[in-house]
């Protein structure tokens, strides 16, 4: 499927506008939106291989699509994990049979994925995972717990990092398994209630869940290599699209500061100007590293930059409102669940920015060891 705009695309635009008018902001209909994107061929633009129902697009074209999607304020994507993390990993490490089985449903928006990496005792220290996978004939039997699993409550499948060799230490003896989520009694998803009152993250419990042997990506015991390869795909075009959203949030805060007269405060004005300047710098850095593969510190630098910038933006959002930021849009009296507005949501949710996706401490350790060549941090017996 070639990249370009056709009469079918014009029909898609019309359908998208109608859908957005009816359902924007509704998480219930996000799967429907994924299928709409899939039918139009807009999933998988950046995949290194065409032929799975996806269009092929150059890097510049991918940037244009991602930025225009963000500018249009289209719904949050439910298929990001499958499209941008698992799919490139399957292209790099999967068998032809695995690619033929899993890539077309991702491109069609029919199957959604979540990432089974972090555990209660193995968050940033991913090599310490304890979830076990025992081979029984044509299947693996999986037991253990994952946590902070984004969109697990919507996902059809989960790619799980599990220990298939209990005698091995640390990153040795791990395997990368593709596990169906629809296994009643064997897979349980428990939403984690956040400060915002929403539940985007989940605990996932595997109690004898089954995964086919043919659904091991890479060889058994090579899960660490595959998992690290996947983490390398987390940067890229999506970073620039993210910054479009950041710019919209900053513009809204500036408008609020003007309306509330908080902008008269020279300290606040200076902070707003600094946020604007730093956002421009992040964009230039993202453009500089876009498509690069030889800089092991680039993803960590980018994460440190945007996470701390966004957290400071959340603080500015409530500072620009003054005392009014402590008042919600609705009565917070029990037993009704409290409601918060966009500024309050930004402030509360951004507290987690410096933790999820690899904490600041871990990102600095990666830069120190892999870029600066400093001595490695002791991690116990290997």
- Give the HSE-up count for residue 128: Cα atoms under 13 Å, Cβ half-sphere: 11
Of 244, 242, 240, 246, whose CA–CA distance to 311 is shortest? 246
Q: If you search the block for the tokens 């991702």, which residue do you land on?
A: 106
Question: What does each C-alpha distance from 243 to 75, 250, 292, 304 come to in angstroms?
Answer: 16, 10, 19, 14
d(CA 127, CA 225): 11
- DSSP one-letter code for 116: E
Q: Which two tokens stand for residue 109?
A: 């928006």
Catalytic residue (one of 188, 234, 278, 369) = 234
The tokens describing 177, both together, are: 């398994």
Paired sense of beta strands 174-180 and 187-192, if any: unpaired
Cis peptide before 335 (omega within 30 of 0): yes
Nearest to 44 by CA among 109, 108, 107: 107
Known active-site residue 234: yes
- Spatial separation of the C-alpha atoms in residues 177 and 218, rounded to whole Å: 9
Q: Which two tokens stand for residue 231?
A: 């983490």
Q: Are 153 and 141 in contact (CB under 8 A)?
A: no
What are 239's two structure tokens?
Answer: 């970073």
Contact (CB, 8 A) for 120 and 239: no
Location of structure tokens 């449903």 = 105
Q: How far is 159 from 181, CA to CA, in rounded Å?
A: 10
Distance, CA of 360 to CA of 267 (rounded, Å): 27
Residue 183's nearest CA partner among 163, 158, 164, 214 is: 158
Active-site residues, by number, are: 234
């Amino acid at each position: 499927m070639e990249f370009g705009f056709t009469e079918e695309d014009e029909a898609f635009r019309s359908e998208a506008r109608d859908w957005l008018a009816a359902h924007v902001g509704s998480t219930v209909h996000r799967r429907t939106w994924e299928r709409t994107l899939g039918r139009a061929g807009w999933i998988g633009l950046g995949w290194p291989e065409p032929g799975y129902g996806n269009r092929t697009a150059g890097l510049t074209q991918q940037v244009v699509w991602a930025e225009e999607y963000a500018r249009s304020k289209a719904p949050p994507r439910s298929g990001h994990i499958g499209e941008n993390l698992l799919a490139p990993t399957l292209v790099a490490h999967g068998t032809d049979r695995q690619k033929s089985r899993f890539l077309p449903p991702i491109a069609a928006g029919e199957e959604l994925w979540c990432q089974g990496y972090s555990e209660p005792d193995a968050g940033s220290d991913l090599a310490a995972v304890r979830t076990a996978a025992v081979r029984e004939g044509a299947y693996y039997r999986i037991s253990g717990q994952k946590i902070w699993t984004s969109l697990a409550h919507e996902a059809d499948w989960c790619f799980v990092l599990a220990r298939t060799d209990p005698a091995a230490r640390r990153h040795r003896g791990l395997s990368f398994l593709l596990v169906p989520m629809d296994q009643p009694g064997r897979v349980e998803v428990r939403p984690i209630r956040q400060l915002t009152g929403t539940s985007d993250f989940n605990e996932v419990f595997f109690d004898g869940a089954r995964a086919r042997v043919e659904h091991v990506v890479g060889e058994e015991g090579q899960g660490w290599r595959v998992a690290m390869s996947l983490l390398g795909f987390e940067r890229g075009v999506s970073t620039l699209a993210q910054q479009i959203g950041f710019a919209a949030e900053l513009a809204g805060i500036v408008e609020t500061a003007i309306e509330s007269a908080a902008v008269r405060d020279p300290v606040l004005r200076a902070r707003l100007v600094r946020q604007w300047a730093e956002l421009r710098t992040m964009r230039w850095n993202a453009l500089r590293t876009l498509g690069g593969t030889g800089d092991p510190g680039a993803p960590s630098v980018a994460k440190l930059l945007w996470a701390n910038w966004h957290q400071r933006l959340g603080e500015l959002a409530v500072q620009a409102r003054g005392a009014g930021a402590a008042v919600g849009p609705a009565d917070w009296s029990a037993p009704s669940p409290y409601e918060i507005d966009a500024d309050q949501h930004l402030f509360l949710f951004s507290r987690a920015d410096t933790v999820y996706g690899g904490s600041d401490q871990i990102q600095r350790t990666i830069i120190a060891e892999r870029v600066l060549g400093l001595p490695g941090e002791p991690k116990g017996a290997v």
